[in-house]
Structure 1
C-alpha cells in the first residue's frame, strides 16, 4: 500500500504542468508588454522625425502655399509632402510663391548652422 503522505507521480506532473502553464502566461504577457513598448518607441521616433521636418500646405484658392514645421498643429495633414532642410530653405527663398506660417515660424529651423 502506498504512503498517503507521498505525492503520486501523476500529481507531481499535474503540478509541474500548472507551473509551466503559469510561466508561459507570464512570458506571453512580457512579450505583449515589450511589443507595446516597441510600438510606442517607434511612434515617438516617427513623431520626433516629423517635428524636425517641414511640410507645405497646398494653395487654397487665392491663398498661396504655406510652409509649416513638421509638428505644426495649424496644418496637421499627415499625408502632406514632407521637406528636408535643403528643400525648405529653397521654399523660403521664393517668398512670392510660398508664405511662412506665423504660428510655427518654420524659418527658425532654417537658420545657417
Structure 2
C-alpha cells in the first residue's frame, strides 16, 4: 500500500496503545488498593480507640489498662469491653496508663 500504513504497523500501534491503557488501569488499581488499605486501618484504629486492653503485671510494676489504640502496649489477645475495663480499674493492683489515660473514656459512661 503506497503512502499508507500497513496492517502490521496499525496492529503494532494498537498493541502499544492497549499496553499503555493497561498500565494506566493497573496504576488506578494500585491507588484504589492503597486507599482501601488506608481506610481499613483507619476503621480498625477508630474501633480500637473505643475499646481497652490490659498490659499484664510485671515484677516491678502493676498491670495497666490502656485505651485500645495506645501504642505503648500493642494488642496481644483481645480487647476489653467497657464494663470489663471499669472492673479492672477498680482493682487495687491495676492502674490506668498515664499516657493514654483510659479512665477518661470510662467516666460517666
Please give the per-residue CA displacement for 1:85-106, whole angstroms capped at 9, x wherever unaligned.
1211221232x13112233221
Q: Which structure 2 residues correspond to residues 6-85 of structure 1 after superposition, within 5 A?
A: 6-73=4-71, 75-79=72-76, 81-85=78-82
Q: For residue 2 of structure 2, what is the aligned residue in structure 1? A: 3
Q: Per the alignment, do residues 65 and 81 of structure 1 end up closer, same or farther by CA in structure 2, a change over 3 Å counting?
A: farther
How many residues are matched? Answer: 109
TM-score by length of 2: 0.84
Q: Which runs of 4+ in 1 moved over 6 A?
A: none
Displacement of 1:70: 1.9
Residue matched to 1:104? 100
Q: Would the aligned equivalents of 2:66 and 2:73 in 1 still touch at CA under 8 Å?
A: no
Q: Which structure has the larger Rg?
A: 1
RMSD: 1.8
Q: Which runs of 5+ in 2 are unaligned?
A: none
Secondary structure at the counterpart of residue 73 of structure 2: coil
With normalisation by structure 1, the TM-score equals 0.82
Q: 1:23: Cα distance to partner?
A: 0.5
